Amino acid sequence: MSASAEAQRLLPRPLLVVLTALLCAIVLVPVLYIVLASLNSDVGVASGEFWPSSFSLHSYSRIWTTADLSNGILNSLIVCGVTAVASALLGTTTAYVLVRYSFRGRLTILRGLVGLQSIPGTLMLLPVFVLFSSAGNYLGLTVVGTRWGLFVAYLTFALPFSTWVMVTYLRGLPRELEEAARTEGASTLVILRRIIFPLSLPAIVVSGIFAFLLGWNDVLFATVLTRPETHTAAVALSIFGSAQEGGALPVYSQMMAASLVCAAPVVILYLIFQRYLVGGLTAGGVK
Amino acid sequence: MTTLIRPPDKTAPKQQRRRGVTERQRPLWLLTPGGVLMILIVLIPLALALWISLIDLDQYSLRRWIEAPFIGFANYTESFSSGLLHSIWISVSFAVLSTVATVPIGIAAALVTQNAYRGRGLVRAIFLIPYVLPSFVVSTVWRTMLQPDGIVNKVLGDGSTLWLSGPRAYWTLVLVEIWAAWPFIYLMALAGLQSVDHEVHEASAVDGATWWPKLYKVILPYLRGPVLLACLLATLNHINNFTLPFVLFGAPAPDNVNVMPMLVYVTSFQSLRFGLSAAMAVVSLILVAIPLFIYLRAVRLDVHDEGGRR
């Protein structure tokens, strides 16, 4: 046992210890600074303290009034949540047909799904913005600045991505159950609802979470397509940066506290679904 | 060329057709909700982006873009005289530098977490932190730390170094991107390491290989495939990264960090030259198309070629 473990060893022990410590330090020192700074006061952070002279949760209570952070987080949760559900469900249905049936153009669609994930966001945003702003003129609709406008914009990325995640999952799913159900006379919809959806629930959740994160982490679309009432968490956080320019004192400590609050939902999702998400990361290949 | 390589494909669909319960009742209508939506929100906007790049669209004609004058390739010629080549160079060098720098870090991290020991789970979780943190949070935090009166200068004992403007801005961008992006290489390298068979370790132990020759000659070749794939994807992500330069430096960005996404953003949403910026965005699409094309070749797309019933 220990001999085989010894055989599997890749690095000599001292090197392993040094490398691990170094890598952990590279990651943890900035993270530690964020936490400490968020527990410090704005004055303390601005004067360049690493270790706060006094700890307090003051910054965590003040961030909600400095910027409309709660509204931003709420907007993010709503828009990204709806995006996640819509793209996971539609993506599963589409992926099922793509995986199980062959038809002309299937390979093109698969290529497109992968390719779309690498399209520059700016290229996608431009026409979406032009369509949205002219919708008022041509159709009498207000789209720019609304939550559902942002939702549609996020779908442009989330839908192809969720579909691709489901394609990679469903092609590993054995067909025997479906075929048995089909000989029993089950229709495709019944098979989808009774077999595919329950069996692939973990993957559906993962594809939904990825869609959620695409939206939550977005700055580009949210900056252009929202107005103050519909600001997302990312845009609300950027307001802390500009808050420093007007006032005499930069609100660094609050900025760190708000950063941690904005990161919290993502970190929690990862902690809960770590095993599935890491697998999905390498399969999908996109953050 | 492709037909020469794969003659069996021609017979496969026929067999399938004869066999096929599944073939006759293909529920292709299930594609309609997802398909129609993708045509509406992806293909039409993409086509429109191409069209916008050929018209003279600014803030005055924005709401009536159908009537905007067609000017052919004038936007493209103008974009080359408005700093496009400079931005392409910044983007590509930034992306390649970041990728090259993250590869050894990622592989090292995968190697140190491959062998089980107490606390490995914690170390693995720590390694994922930079990747899990939203990009806008990472950028905000580094922006704060790199202020002239920020913690970095305090630690270095020098209150005058400028990180967010001036000649160092470019290296700030690269360094922060490296900090945020190396775990992706780490994850892909880890997946590659797990494909190394038990026997391989045993065999090299029997041969009495010391760690470096074993690592270099036996283990690393296993990682070549996954890490190359990771490099392609990472480079694509670096080129398309808008959040990091935008939050670190603000818009308009200093000239030496004016990457493609920033250039397109500023041209469209600050200078309000939508036609011009569409032309720039289309050029940046061509830029990512090269690594993307290689990636599409490498990634396994067709599901019907593998196991399972035809």
Render pLDDT for A19-44 as a digit per residue (tens, 0 to 9): 999 999 999 999 999 999 999 988 88
Q: Quick one: average pLDDT of B67-96?
A: 91
Residue A100, domain extent: 64-284
pLDDT at A91 over 70: yes
pLDDT in tens, A135-181: 887 888 888 889 999 999 999 989 999 998 899 888 888 888 888 88
| pLDDT at residue number B116 | 82
In the DSSP assignment, the letter for residue B69 is P
Q: Select from A58, A73, A105 the last residue of a domain.
A: A58
Beta carbons within 10 angstroms of residue B91's beta carbon: 25
From CA A157, how far away is CA B306, in angstroms rounded?
28
Confidence of residue A4 (pLDDT cuts 50, 70, 90): low
Q: Higher-confidence residue: B10 or B49?
A: B49
If asked whether residues A40 and A167 sit together in one domain, one would say no
Q: Give residue A241's pLDDT.
A: 75
Is residue A4 within 8 angstroms of chain B, CB to CB? yes
Number of independent structural domains in chain A: 2
CB of A251 within 8 A of CB of A244? yes
Residues of B in contact with A101 (CB under 8 A): 22-23, 26-28
CB-neighbour burial class of residue A128 (10 A; exposed 0-12, middle 13-18, buried 19+): buried
Residues 130-169 of A with CB under 8 A from B: 130-131, 133-134, 136-138, 152, 155-156, 159-160, 163, 167
Across A262-266, B18-22, B145-149, least confident range: B18-22
Strand partners, A268: none
Measure the CA–CA gap between A181 and A100, rounded to whole angstroms. 15
Is A38 exposed, middle or buried, given 0-12, 13-18 or 19+ CB atoms closer than 10 A? buried
CA distance B110 to A282: 14
Summarize pLDDT for B259-284 with one digit per residue, the tens: 999 999 999 999 999 999 999 999 98
> According to the model, what pLDDT value does residue B14 have?
42
Compute the average pLDDT of residues A5-18: 82
Inter-chain CB proximity A118 and B201 less than 8 Å: no
A226 φ, ψ (degrees, to nearest 5): -120, 160
Q: What's the mean per-residue pLDDT of chain A?
A: 87
Question: What residues contact residue B7 under an 8 Å CB cut-off, 6+ apart?
Answer: none
Please tell me the CATH code under which domain B77-298 is placed: 1.10.3720.10
Nearest by CB to residue A97, choosing from B16, B28, B155, is: B28
Task: Specify whether the backbone of B302 is left (phi greater than 0), alpha (psi in -120 to 50) or beta.
Answer: beta
| pLDDT at site A248 | 65
Q: Each residue of B155-175: pLDDT tens digit?
A: 888 777 888 888 899 999 999
- Contact between A153 and A128 under an 8 Å Cβ cutoff? The reply is yes
In sequence order, what are the residues at sequence separation of 6 or more whose Cβ sits closer than 8 angstroms to the Cβ of residue A216? A76, A80, A232, A233, A234, A265, A266, B134
Return the CATH number at A172. 1.10.3720.10
Scanning A51-70 for CB atoms below 8 A from B yields: none
Q: Model-level pTM?
A: 0.87
User: Are the beta carbons of B249 and B169 closer than 8 angstroms?
Assistant: yes
pLDDT at B309 over 70: no
Give yes or no for residue B304 having a pLDDT over 50. no
The lowest-confidence range among A18-32, A227-241, B2-16, B19-33 is B2-16
**pLDDT(B2) > 60:** no
Kindly state the average pLDDT of the residues B202-209: 81
Q: Which residue of B114, B161, B301 is the best one to mutate when testing the A interface, meaning the one whose CB has the most A CBs within 10 A?
A: B301
Which pair of tokens denotes residue A167?
A: 């394609």
The answer to whether B65 and A226 are in contact (CB under 8 A) is no
Q: B130: which chain A residues are within 8 Å (Cβ-Cβ)?
A: 27
pLDDT surpasses 60 at B54? yes
The pLDDT of residue B302: 58
Flag whether residue B286 sits within 8 Å of chain A, measured between CB atoms: no
Mean pLDDT in residue range A42-70: 86
Residues of B in contact with A175 (CB under 8 A): 308-309
- Please give the interface size between A and B, counted as residue pairs whose CB atoms are below 8 Å apart: 298
pLDDT over 90 at B108, yes or no:
yes
Query: Could you say which DSSP state residue A140 is in?
Result: -
What is the reported pLDDT for B8?
Answer: 40
Q: How far is A52 from chain B (nearest CA, A)?
A: 12
Task: Provide mean pLDDT across the span A80-86.
Answer: 96
Q: Of the ranges A126-135, B24-33, B126-135, B185-194, which one carries the lowest mean pLDDT score?
A: B24-33
Same domain flag for A170 and A204: yes
> CB contact, 8 Å: A2 with chain B?
no
Partner A contacted by B92 (CB < 8 A): no
Percentage of residues of chain A with pLDDT beyond 70: 92
Instruction: Give the residue from B300, B6, B229, B1 showing the smallest Cα distance to A107.
Output: B300
Q: Is residue A6 located within the same domain as residue A77?
A: no
In tens, the pLDDT along B226-240 reads: 898 889 989 999 999
Question: Which of A25, A58, A91 corresponds to the end of one domain?
Answer: A58
Residues A54 and A84 both lie in one domain: no
Average predicted confidence (pLDDT) for chain B: 84
pLDDT band at B192 (very low <50, low <70, confident <90, very high): confident
Q: What is the pLDDT of residue A282?
A: 55
Residues A14 and A142 in one domain: no
Does position B13 have pLDDT exceeding 80, yes or no?
Answer: no
**Cβ-Cβ contacts under 8 Å, A204 against chain B:** none
Maximum average pLDDT range among A124-133, B170-179, B218-227: B170-179
Do A20 and A162 lie in one domain? The reply is: no
CA contacts within 13 A on the Cβ side of A260 = 19
| CB-CB contact of B56 with A167 (8 Å) | no
- Residue at a domain's end among A40, A58, A76: A58
**Interface check B129 vs A, CB under 8 A:** yes
pLDDT band at B67 (very low <50, low <70, confident <90, very high): confident
The better pLDDT of the pair B93, A240 is held by B93
Minimal Cβ distance to B296: which of A11, A115, A174: A115
User: Which of A120, A171, A175 minimises the CB distance to B281?
Assistant: A120
Give the per-residue pLDDT at B7: 38
| ipTM given for this complex | 0.89
